[in-house]
Homo-oligomer: A and B are copies of this chain.
Amino acid sequence: MRLSRYFLPVLKETPADAQIASHRLMLRAGMIRQQAAGIYSWLPMGFKVLRRLEQIVHEEQQRAGHIPLLMPTLQPADLWLESGRYDAYGKELLRIRDRHDRDMLYGPTNEEMITDIFRGYVGSYKALPLTLYHIQWKFRDEVRPRFGVMRGREFLMKDGYNFDLTYEDAMHAYNRHMVSYLRTYERMGLKAIPMRADSGPIGGDDTHEFLVLADTGESEVFYDRAVTDLTLGRREIDWNDRAQLEAIKAEWTTPYARTDETHDEALYTQIPEDRRVKGRGIEVGQIFYFGTKYSEPMGAVVTDESGARVPVHMGSHGIGVSRLVGALIEANHDDKGIIWPESVAPFGAGIVNMKPGDAAVDATCGELYQALTAAGVDPLLDDRDERAGAKFATMELIGLPWRITVGPRGLAEGKVELTCRRTGETEALSPQAAASKLAEIWSAL
């Protein structure tokens, strides 16, 4: 993209009412615009990041064998009356009445509807195991929306639901979700720690939240430092191998890690003192096993091998996709702006043309643009007639991981400058070498 043709409305002043870094930076970098309390437009660069996250979530869900569909944003109240949540959910449920006075609601989650879909078509254990998921806009009518997209009212969530014949099968689905979530966050350059959690209004027995460590997190967290050293890395995962997934879960959940809701001081003090950490975290996902809580009242039953009709074991599993944009920035920024990990950056690199109109500089910028585009780096070319300082400040604010500076003086010696946003380090390279270096990084993503 050429910046002169793009719509990137960066702000000079820091918005007064934004209390946390991600909210401030998303407004300043022209990523979002508030349209009502807790309701945002995703401006072009914000939308681009959101789509990258959505794409990673889709890929990792499908890698684990989960099947995408799409449920609507609005739901009939009937389904929620059936499960008993219509009255239980409280004021966070946005209730709507249509022109024929039918009661509807804007879905904050989809247990009822997915159970309705399942019971509408499935009658035999042969269709199991089955995990269906969607990525759709949800609404929670927060009494005090704040922190930008971190606690918005209209938010994008991936929610998935497993249907299994037995408790053991459902726990395999639980583990599969845990491992696929670990992979998902790692691909985004995030360290998210699974912590034992409370189940809240979804209900259920086994549940873990995934928390990203950040000083601005809304949850207090207590953990064994050892858990932050774990990575999945490039290990091969066989999604049907129950023992392997169980072992990975054990690896991540054996070290103590809990939120204040489930914290157990006696267990915590058993950790060697130098490994005990108290901090804050941002919840970016949660997995639940809740057995037959919905299948029983709603009649989601299948015939098992013996011919008996049994309610299916279910769980639900969510990733806050829009919230992740905020969490990523909380975990990746400095006083100059955002620092995107390569895998989720809106553009992989910025090319700064220091002298638009200079034939050699324009030509080199054009060649770099083509080479980086071909390599999948998806560059943003700043071809505006602006001061160098303003161009650099914009690049630092919007946080593209790499910047290539192309000016007449360097070019006279056959060089451009390649600057890493995270380290601030700059090296002088030929344009070809700069493009190759980035192409190599992207091919390894």
Main secondary structure of the interface of A (DSSP, over half): mixed
Complex A-B: 9 CB contacts under 8 Å: A35-B72, A35-B75, A41-B113, A44-B67, A46-B69, A48-B68, A73-B137, A74-B106, A96-B106
A96 contact from B67, B71, B96, B117, Cβ within 8 A: B96
Count residues of A near B (Cβ-Cβ below 8 Å): 55
Q: Are A39 and B143 in contact (CB under 8 A)?
A: no
Given known pairs A41-B113, A73-B154, the reply for A36 and B68 (CB within 8 Å) is no
Which chain B residue lies CB-closest to A116? B35
A154 contact from B35, B72, B154, Cβ within 8 A: B72
Q: Are A5 and B69 in contact (CB under 8 A)?
A: no
Q: In the complex, which residues of chain B have a beta carbon less than 8 angstroms from the beta carbon of A41?
A: 69-72, 113, 117
A420 part of interface (Cβ distance < 8 Å): no
Given known pairs A47-B68, A69-B47, the reply for A74 and B139 (CB within 8 Å) is yes
Q: Are A69 and B94 in contact (CB under 8 A)?
A: no
Shortest distance between the CB of A115 and any CB in chain B (Å): 12
A73–B141 alpha-carbon span in the complex (Å):
14
A12 part of interface (Cβ distance < 8 Å): no
A98–B153 alpha-carbon span in the complex (Å):
11
A121–B28 alpha-carbon span in the complex (Å):
12
A47–B104 alpha-carbon span in the complex (Å):
23
Q: Are B94 and A94 in contact (CB under 8 A)?
A: no
In A256-315, the 8 Å CB interface with B consists of: none
A76 part of interface (Cβ distance < 8 Å): yes
